[in-house]
Amino acid sequence: MFTGLAQLDKNLISEINEYYLLHGTKPDLIELIAHDNVDFRMSSDKPMFGRGAYYAESSTKADQYAGNCEVTEWSQK
């Protein structure tokens, strides 16, 4: 069941600046990240702001890093 954004926002503690952050990636890496977590050592050698794992508050920004892909079986779960 999908939880709406308003419901998710109730879980955040604004006093400590909590935010939901999104990580955009290619579909073939989703299972690996879900199993082993995000590993900054696997990042590109020439990222804009240095080597590391990047996150965004905006889903459209994170989506830019997912590349052009078709709907997959995993994304329909």
- Position 57 scores a pLDDT of 82
Q: What is the pLDDT of residue 25?
A: 81
The set of residues, in sequence order, having a beta carbon less than 8 Å from that of 19 and lying 6+ positions away, is 12, 57
Which residues have CB under 8 Å from 72's CB, separation 6+? 27
Question: Residue 70 — pLDDT band, cuts 50, 70, 90?
Answer: low
The gap between the terminal CA atoms of the chain, to the nearest Å, is: 10
Instruction: Specify the pLDDT at position 63.
Output: 82
CA atoms within 13 Å, Cβ hemisphere of 54: 19
